[in-house]
Amino acid sequence: MTTEQEKQNDSIWWNFIEALSDEFINQTGFGIYAHITPLDVHDVYQKFQQHQAPIRSFARDYVRSCV
C-alpha cells in the first residue's frame, strides 16, 4: 500500500469518526464513546465500508438505530 493510499484511508477513518460522533452529539447530547465502545466503532466502520453509503448518511442512520 502506498503512502498516499494510507493517508487517504486515515482521512476516511477520521472523517467517519467525526461524523459518527457529531450525530451522537446532535441526537443525544453525548459523544460517540458514551454509547459504544472503540471496538464497536471499528465494527461499525467495517459495515460502513461494505455499504458504500455517504459517511454522514450512514452515521445518521446508524445513530438512529442505536437510540
In the 3-class helix/strand/coil scheme, how is the chain assigned residue by residue?
Answer: CCHHHHHHHHHHHHHHHHHHHHHHHHHHCCCHHHCCCHHHHHHHHHHHHHHCCCHHHHHHHHHHHHC
Question: Could you read off the pLDDT of 12-65 as tens digits, one per residue?
Answer: 999 999 999 999 999 999 999 999 999 999 999 999 999 989 999 999 999 999
pTM: 0.86
